[in-house]
Structures are given as structure tokens and as C-alpha cells.
Structure 1
Amino acid sequence: MSVQLNHTIVPARDRDATAAFFVEVLGLKPAPVYGPFRVVSLGNDVSLDVVQAGDDLPSQHYAFLVGEDEFDQIWGRIKERGLTYYADPHHQRRGQINTNDGGRGLYWSDPNGHNLEILTVPYGGWKQG
């Protein structure tokens, strides 16, 4: 078996609200409780295990590769919620999306200050062959 990411832990000030934010904005199934975590399952058998972590959180980056239809749906939910989004990871190009590598992408923040990204084409484009 090749090495694959199975899960990552997402520290949160409010575990339940953060898991609900991911589920609602990304259009995912509800996140069940497993021990101290709310488990947000992604489509490629990877999960974001959201854990209560207190107030002092390091900002992390989470990028989600999505299809064109999912991009439009997520972008729509971001706009419906009045969330600020950017075309770049440093949040300089407010209210814009990027077209890097022939796809579309955007960045926004979750309630904990984590930098979230959706993109329709992976960095460097799709592998040939």
C-alpha cells in the first residue's frame, strides 16, 4: 500500500461550531463524535478530526481539491454567509478568485483563523500519463 493521508487534527476554540462550519460550507455529511473529536469526513477517505483546543491556536492551512460544480456551490455558500474570500493565500486580493494552473481557487478563514482553500486543479496542473 502507498502512503496516504488518513486524517489530520484541526484544533478549535469551539469543536462543535467548527465542525458544523466545515460541514455546512463544504456541503458535507454531519460530523459524528468519536472520543474527543468531531470527525468531518471528506470524499477521499480522509477526515478532519476537530478537537477542542482552547483560545491560543496556531493558524493552519487546509486545502480542498474540488470539482467545478462543488467549487460553485462552496463559493455560493461562502458568499451567502458574507464571508470574506481572497484569490491568494496572503489575503491581498479580496473578493477575487484565482485561475492558477488552468483551474479556479479561493481562500477564506474559518472561525479559528485557519486559512482554508478550495481549488479545482492541483498545484502544477494535472499529471500527464
Structure 2
Amino acid sequence: MTITLNHTIVPAVDNETEARFLAAVLGLSYDGPNRHFAPVRINEQLTLDFMTVDEPQPMHLAFDVDPATFDAAVDHLRANKIPFGNRPHDWTNGLTDHPFAARGVFFRDAAQNLYELMSPE
């Protein structure tokens, strides 16, 4: 059997707000809470389950995305004045060149989780 990641828990200040935030950036739907989680289906294999915690410890989540998804995400970030940048230590510089992909960005949510989007072109 091939091993795949099924889901991961993402710490949140407010699980539904942060689930909606990431779903909007990635152009995904958010269907509402499931018990104490706010799940966002990333693809057929992976769900991110946002969970409200008292003191969230930020994590880094990196995604390979196609060029159209990348463009739409950057457009959304710009339109909503969400800071982004091309380096994890400089994630507010507004640049999209990336050290390991043709284009890429980093941005944070309210819990300070660091998201990374990388596009091959």
C-alpha cells in the first residue's frame, strides 16, 4: 500500500475563520464545521482540520499548485490586502520569485501558521 497523508490538525485562533481564510485563498469550498474541527478538503487524499486551541503553535504548510491556482491565490491576497512574500523570513515583501520554484509565496493566518504556495511556472 502507498502511504499518503489523510489529514492533519492545523492549530487555529478561530477554526472556522481560519478554515474560510485558507479556502478562499486557494479557491476551495468550506462546507462548515464537523464536531470541533473546521475541515478544508485540499484534494481527494488530504483534509486540513482546523482546530481552535488556546495557544496555537504555528506550523508551516507548503503546497505545490498549478499556475492558474497560483495566479488566483496571489490575486486574492492582493485584493484582500493580505501580506505575502517570497521568503519565509520576509513574507511581507510582496514578491513572488522563489528559491525552489519558478514562482512562490508565503503568507500567514491569524494563528501565524505559515503557508507556502509554489508554482512550476
Give the TM-score normalised by structure 2.
Answer: 0.90
Give the paired residue count: 120
Shift of 1:3: 1.1
SS in 2 for 1:118: strand
Residue 114 of structure 1 corresponds to 113
What are the ranges of 5 or more consecutive residues in structure 1 without an aligned counterpart?
A: 122-129
Shift of 1:31: 3.4
Higher relative contact order (CA 8 A, sep 6+): 2
| Bigger shift: residues 78-87 or 26-35 | 26-35
What are the ranges of 5 or more consecutive residues in structure 2 without an aligned counterpart?
A: none
Q: Distance in 2 between matches of 1:49 and 1:101?
A: 27
Q: Distance in 2 between matches of 1:47 and 1:2?
A: 17
Residue 103 of structure 1 corresponds to 102
C-alpha deviations, 1:3-45, integer Å up to 9, x for none?
1111100111111111110111111012332221111001242
* Closer/same/farther in 2, CA of residues 107 and 41 from structure 1, 3 Å limit: same
Shift of 1:100: 3.5
Q: Distance in 2 between matches of 1:101 and 1:11?
A: 27
Report if aligned partners of 1:19, 1:31 keep a CA contact under 8 Å in 2.
Answer: no
Residue 7 of structure 2 corresponds to 7
Residue 126 of structure 1 corresponds to none
Give RMSD over aligned pairs. 1.6
Residue 38 of structure 1 corresponds to 38
Shift of 1:98: 1.7
